[in-house]
Structure 1
Amino acid sequence: MNNFVAYLNTLNNANSSNENALAEAQITNNYYKKFHVERNLGFYLAEKLKEKPTCVILTGHAGDGKTSLVYQILKSLKMIEEGSSLKKHEQKYSIELERDLLYIKDMSELMEEKQLELLRKAIKGKKDGVSSIVVSNTGPLINTFRQLIKIGHIKNVSEDIAEMKLLEVMDKNSGVEITVGDSEILLINMARIDNVVLVPKLIDRISSDELWEGCTNCQKVDACPIYNNYKSIKDNKTNVNSFVTSYYRWLFELDRRLTVRQILAQLSYSMTGNLTCNDVSESSSSEMKFRYHFSNLFFGYKGLEVNEEARQIRAIEELQELNLDSKETKYDYDFFVKNDFTHLTDSTKEVAFEIWDKRSQKYRLKPVDFMQTDEPYQLRKAIRRMNFLFGRFNEETTNYLLDQLFSPVFSNYISYRSKKVTVKEKRNVKATIYKALNFILVGTHLEKDMGKIYLPLQRHGTGNQNVQLLLGELNDNDINVDQEYLGSIYDDDESHYEINLIFSSGKKFKIPLMLFDYFNRISLGAVTTSINPSLSHGIDTMKSQLFNDYKYRDENEIIRLLIHTLNGPKLIKLQIDQLELFVD
């Protein structure tokens, strides 16, 4: 019996046994110390509290790890014993700080009057040499700040100005102290923190040898699907990390960021499927290993069937919406025609081949029965899921697979995010964006490099226009692509490069993954492609700015027409002088 299995089953919401899904319950569990990943942000804030009296405020969404962070900070300051629970609020002397520290576990647990009293005490305590840590959701935090200003406890600022200042700080999330009126705070927005960087650490913890030692002496270990999942991850951790991290990065770039709690829910469920040790017997078959294989559980399946309970886990629901396992890959021929499963790791190959062979025999014996079901299709999807997580990939083949599954530019974008691009890479990115901008602005694909992009007046919904009135133009040297390094002062794991499109006018536009993907599809000849409303708004803003910055500013009124001919675009200039028309 391994009690860690029971602990994992309490970390997800796929059934009712999720008492440890909340941090308040987790920190008192015996496994918390072994499983918990300490955050660099916690070390940073502890150091800030040591430097001088500081009011730290943590805000964000439920499940973002605010309570766990408070616990980590208090433990590092030796103000709480391992496994002890946090009080709703407490002020006590810290030997490490050589001063009092007040912590408020969660403002939303307090009555409004108590919120006002304690937030005032936390903010004003700095002047009395008292440090503080306050946890609050965004709404209650702003409302309480407004109330404190209204009754005069925070001076020299209006309610509206203070609210705008707080929202601006939450958006930038720089990790430095700011002044609101006559008060200083260090505000951290946990909802803006990149949780994807934690995923490899979480997978390391969930597959730590120490936590699975209890299984080695179990008589059921060879038949156990849970232990098989642990072994499968150990055998192929690099590729498991790569696929899982890439999936979470894709959601992050889609503005569907997951909280730490939501990530943990999927990973814990994928290890056990909420099976207990008692559910496994020595005679458990390979069919059970297949049904509860990590690759199936991670996607919310039990074998070939969708598990509706698993869809309660948001990360699983999002993954099923992507339909990644329905996409054909270059490995399909080996698996489904040649019945060659050598690309899978040994432990996964054993399960996959036995299930495939058994099902294939049934198909051959009763082909009509199986032609009337989607079971063969679902089986192919299951094999693909196994390959995504437990295939034998090197860096090149991993990138090829991820580009097939997510976006043709996905692996390049991840590379550009993590390191300085070469001159060649920068030129390639610029060429892609240049072609896309020409189509977006002119409405036609660039047949040859003209050294400039025209800015014509376009009519919407009328198809291609053979003749267009020109309002301005961009030269090739007006456009540049560069990287900006965004360093995090509180967590170097979050530091990364950002791709920017820079114009000679000085205007700069960030190129996130989804916009890069959109530009790439357009540059390759796509006429229409979907784009989310926020990116569409960003493109419209860019177009408006370009028309304003690069419009013609002739002293003499010249009318320019762009005529699209079979031999390519042709520019005609018209000038009117009284009753005469001059054409160039």
Structure 2
Amino acid sequence: MYNEEYISYINSLHNYNAQNPNSYGEKNVHNQFFKDVMVEVGLSKFILNSLQSEEPHVIVLTGHAGDGKTSIMYQVLSELGIAFEPDVKICDYALPSGRLCRCIKDFSEISDEEKVSVLSEAMKMPMNGNYVFMVANTGPLINTFGNLFDEGDERERAKIELIDSMDSNTGSITEINDYKICVINVATVDNTYFANQFVDKLIQDKLWEKCDGCPKKEYCHINANREIIKANRQRVNEFLNMHYIWLTEHGKRLTIRSMTEQLAYMITGGFNCDEVSMVEKYKYLFSNLFFGYVGTVVNTKAFTIVAVKEANNCGYDSKRLRSDERILVNREYDKVFGKQMSQIITDAEQKNAYISGWTEFLRRAYLFTNIETDEMVLAHNYEDIFSKQYRRYLQLRNGESSPSRADANLVCDALSMIYVGTTSNDSMIPLTLSREAGIAQNVQLITGTLMTKSIKIVLRPTKDSLFNSDKKRYSLKLEVNKEELESEITLPLLNYFEELKNGIISTNVDPQLSHGIESLKAELSELNDDSDETFEMIILRNSGVKAVSLEIADDGIIREL
């Protein structure tokens, strides 16, 4: 017996072979390795404080299936010294304060016939000085909560108030018809930090000691993946972090369960110890498995893991890099990769150098295991793989830097392109009415103006910063004349601004980005509500932009001023 039990456990965390009994939920809690790989969530500290310091109320942890709600309950109860019983749906525990806390492990698993009575009883417990901590998927919670009320209007009003509480997600206690309730929507809480911490847990030394004496160690791809990840931890950490944030910022937030499945699969490839055999080392590299490849060939079966499919759809390995010359032409493997990876690539090159997919294979390996130290090269890599504004956005998002005038100038240039069709060095940006056709009209009506010096980007803590006190995150907002707009400057919007500044006009803007643009334009228009009887137009000419001011005289004739 070597490390079969642990490798089998890792494989139980993904659904590649439909063998997913644990999957980071209540089943997982039973396993001997659960505590070793469990990632502590900042939200558990917030809930713990609520149960110890706040007045008696009902805490509802809601969100999508797979968001890690059950694990959060486990962490909270463990901190309280209470043994978590995953097989018992409803348990009453005594808190250190002596008050009672009812834990409803998963409200969605309770039968439809019992849901109303269970929720009704739970909502009344704070009236007797007790707490309730429950996990519930969003749909069943909203529908059942409405059924606690008899009259139709009251029922709908209560459901709307509950939904509003979910949307605001402030973590505060809300009174809905005398029910004291705090709803925390996990689906809106940043979880991108999870990946790196989880990988650190998976590869920790004590869980791999039994592999040392295994006769398959020299050719085992599972052990090799662990060693390569450990040797390239910084680069692996950087790429995972940037990848998952990239997905989230583009409206494809993954659940904890989805990330768990992908990260577990990228180490084992779905193989248990007894299935490991002597194969070429490059085939089951974690850099291939992460994207659903075996060597140079895509493995569509891996797309049953949602996160693997999403990573493959990003197409990182098809993007041209400024480092391609060193990798593909000069083949500087010893300088670009570490010793172990360089040897694997050199061995594989003998058979694969001229086959389809080799270029993409090298790029995938480069994403995770390059040993570049030149800051300029690294900056180019992230521009080529993601976007020019991405690293800057991360600095602002993480509070590592403050917005500069250059950031505001990017917005000004983009707004000038949106409203006028050209970038301008003027101190003023005219707000125009024009047909949305991607081509600027020659004559446009001016509805207002913006002074470029009055435009700033400011950082504001996101709502979920409350739940992750040690992981600050900020949103980018636009401030005009010291008035902050509601619209957020998202990463897609920032990238779009960069393209506009460079004269690139996209004719295929996704709905999420389009909504952000129109929301921003609507707010800017409200800042310039002018009822004056004069109006202005701009005329776009080859020699430049000409402004024309007109007025409607008392005799009804329009005259140029």
- Give the direction of change, closer, same or farther, for the CA distance of 1:398–1:176 in structure 2 (3 Å limit): farther
Alignment check: 8 A CA contact 1:575 1:581 kept: yes
For residue 29 of structure 1, what is the aligned residue in structure 2?
Answer: 31
Alignment check: 8 A CA contact 2:24 2:260 kept: no
How far is the alpha carbon of 1:77 from its aligned partner?
A: 1.8
How far is the alpha carbon of 1:551 from its aligned partner?
A: 4.6
Q: Of 74, 78, 81, which aligns to 2:77? A: 74
How far is the alpha carbon of 1:105 from its aligned partner?
A: 1.3
Stretch deviating more after TM superposition (500-509 or 120-129) = 500-509
Measure, in 1, the Cα distance between the counterparts of 2:191 and 2:266. Answer: 19
Q: Could you tell me the TM-score, scaled by structure 2's length?
A: 0.93
What amino acid maps onto 2:448 in structure 1? G
- Give the direction of change, closer, same or farther, for the CA distance of 1:403–1:492 in structure 2 (3 Å limit): farther
The answer to whether the aligner puts 1:568 opposite 2:560 as a matched pair is no
The answer to whether the aligner puts 1:497 opposite 2:489 as a matched pair is no
The answer to whether the aligner puts 1:410 opposite 2:399 as a matched pair is no
The answer to whether the aligner puts 1:243 opposite 2:221 as a matched pair is no
Alignment check: 8 A CA contact 2:434 2:444 kept: yes
Alignment check: 8 A CA contact 1:486 1:497 kept: yes
For residue 373 of structure 1, what is the aligned residue in structure 2?
Answer: none
- Give the direction of change, closer, same or farther, for the CA distance of 1:116–1:570 in structure 2 (3 Å limit): same
- Give the direction of change, closer, same or farther, for the CA distance of 1:167–1:393 in structure 2 (3 Å limit): farther
For residue 372 of structure 1, what is the aligned residue in structure 2?
Answer: none
Alignment check: 8 A CA contact 1:325 1:382 kept: yes
Note the 1:461-476 alignment, pairs <5 A: 461=437, 463-476=439-452
Note the 1:443-522 alignment, pairs <5 A: 444-446=421-423, 448-461=424-437, 463-486=439-462, 488-504=465-481, 506-508=483-485, 509-522=487-500
Alignment check: 8 A CA contact 2:24 2:68 kept: no
Secondary structure class of the residue paired with 1:400: helix
Deviations 1:431-481 (A, max 9, x none): 111111111122x112x4121111233134494422223232222234222
Deviations 1:89-138 (A, max 9, x none): 122434x2412221111112112332122212222111222222111111
Stretch deviating more after TM superposition (503-512 or 188-197) = 503-512
Secondary structure class of the residue paired with 1:16: coil
Alignment check: 8 A CA contact 1:521 1:529 kept: no
The answer to whether the aligner puts 1:346 opposite 2:339 as a matched pair is yes
Measure, in 2, the Cα distance between the counterparts of 1:493 and 1:258. Answer: 21
Measure, in 2, the Cα distance between the counterparts of 1:4 and 1:193. Answer: 30
Alignment check: 8 A CA contact 1:518 1:529 kept: no
- Give the direction of change, closer, same or farther, for the CA distance of 1:144–1:428 in structure 2 (3 Å limit): same
- Give the direction of change, closer, same or farther, for the CA distance of 1:432–1:225 in structure 2 (3 Å limit): same
For residue 189 of structure 1, what is the aligned residue in structure 2?
Answer: 185
Measure, in 1, the Cα distance between the counterparts of 2:467 and 2:551. Answer: 61
Measure, in 2, the Cα distance between the counterparts of 1:464 and 1:190. Answer: 43
For residue 326 of structure 2, what is the aligned residue in structure 1?
Answer: 334
Measure, in 2, the Cα distance between the counterparts of 1:280 and 1:87. Answer: 38
Secondary structure class of the residue paired with 2:40: coil
Measure, in 2, the Cα distance between the counterparts of 1:581 and 1:47. Answer: 68
For residue 211 of structure 1, what is the aligned residue in structure 2?
Answer: 207
Aligned length: 553
- Give the direction of change, closer, same or farther, for the CA distance of 1:116–1:399 in structure 2 (3 Å limit): farther
Q: Of 253, 259, 266, which aligns to 1:263? A: 259
What amino acid maps onto 1:519 in structure 2? F
Stretch deviating more after TM superposition (308-317 or 265-274) = 308-317
How far is the alpha carbon of 1:23 from its aligned partner?
A: 1.0
Alignment check: 8 A CA contact 2:493 2:516 kept: no
Deviations 1:158-188 (A, max 9, x none): 3233222222221222222221121111211
How far is the alpha carbon of 1:338 from its aligned partner?
A: 1.7
For residue 382 of structure 1, what is the aligned residue in structure 2?
Answer: 361
For residue 540 of structure 1, what is the aligned residue in structure 2?
Answer: 518
Measure, in 2, the Cα distance between the counterparts of 1:528 and 1:450. Answer: 25
Measure, in 2, the Cα distance between the counterparts of 1:24 and 1:476. Answer: 55
How far is the alpha carbon of 1:344 from its aligned partner?
A: 1.0
How far is the alpha carbon of 1:252 from its aligned partner?
A: 0.5
How far is the alpha carbon of 1:85 from its aligned partner?
A: 3.3
How far is the alpha carbon of 1:493 from its aligned partner?
A: 4.1
Alignment check: 8 A CA contact 2:63 2:137 kept: yes
- Give the direction of change, closer, same or farther, for the CA distance of 1:274–1:417 in structure 2 (3 Å limit): same
- Give the direction of change, closer, same or farther, for the CA distance of 1:517–1:530 in structure 2 (3 Å limit): farther
Alignment check: 8 A CA contact 1:49 1:97 kept: no
Secondary structure class of the residue paired with 1:223: coil
Alignment check: 8 A CA contact 1:63 1:261 kept: yes
Deviations 1:471-515 (A, max 9, x none): 322222342221223372332244212211122383502101111
Secondary structure class of the residue paired with 2:48: helix
How far is the alpha carbon of 1:542 from its aligned partner?
A: 2.6
Q: Of 31, 37, 40, which aligns to 1:38? A: 40
Note the 1:10-25 alignment, pairs <5 A: 10-21=12-23, 23-25=25-27
Deviations 1:17-70 (A, max 9, x none): 211125121110111111111212112212321235332111111101111112
For residue 226 of structure 1, what is the aligned residue in structure 2?
Answer: 222
What amino acid maps onto 1:113 in structure 2? E
How far is the alpha carbon of 1:581 from its aligned partner?
A: 6.5
Measure, in 1, the Cα distance between the counterparts of 2:108 and 2:418. Answer: 48
The answer to whether the aligner puts 1:276 opposite 2:272 as a matched pair is yes
Measure, in 1, the Cα distance between the counterparts of 2:314 and 2:33. Answer: 34
Measure, in 1, the Cα distance between the counterparts of 2:112 and 2:342. Answer: 59
How far is the alpha carbon of 1:307 from its aligned partner?
A: 1.1
The answer to whether the aligner puts 1:301 opposite 2:296 as a matched pair is no
Measure, in 2, the Cα distance between the counterparts of 1:350 and 1:420. Answer: 37
- Runs of 5+ in structure 1 lacking a partner? 364-375
Measure, in 2, the Cα distance between the counterparts of 1:543 and 1:489. Answer: 30
Secondary structure class of the residue paired with 1:196: coil
Alignment check: 8 A CA contact 1:416 1:497 kept: yes
Secondary structure class of the residue paired with 2:483: coil
Measure, in 1, the Cα distance between the counterparts of 2:438 and 2:413. Answer: 22
Note the 1:142-181 alignment, pairs <5 A: 142-150=142-150, 158-181=154-177
Alignment check: 8 A CA contact 1:420 1:483 kept: no
Alignment check: 8 A CA contact 1:410 1:513 kept: yes
The answer to whether the aligner puts 1:317 opposite 2:315 as a matched pair is no
Deviations 1:367-419 (A, max 9, x none): xxxxxxxxx33011111100100111346543432221122111110011112
How far is the alpha carbon of 1:327 from its aligned partner?
A: 1.0
How far is the alpha carbon of 1:151 from its aligned partner?
A: 7.6
Measure, in 2, the Cα distance between the counterparts of 1:130 and 1:579. Answer: 74
Measure, in 1, the Cα distance between the counterparts of 2:331 and 2:310. Answer: 31
- Give the direction of change, closer, same or farther, for the CA distance of 1:71–1:262 in structure 2 (3 Å limit): same
What amino acid maps onto 2:119 in structure 1? L
Alignment check: 8 A CA contact 1:122 1:134 kept: no
Note the 1:83-94 alignment, pairs <5 A: 85-94=86-95
What amino acid maps onto 1:303 in structure 2? G
Query: Percentage identity across aligned positions?
Result: 32
- Give the direction of change, closer, same or farther, for the CA distance of 1:119–1:576 in structure 2 (3 Å limit): closer
- Give the direction of change, closer, same or farther, for the CA distance of 1:39–1:228 in structure 2 (3 Å limit): same
What amino acid maps onto 2:195 in structure 1? V
Alignment check: 8 A CA contact 1:473 1:551 kept: no
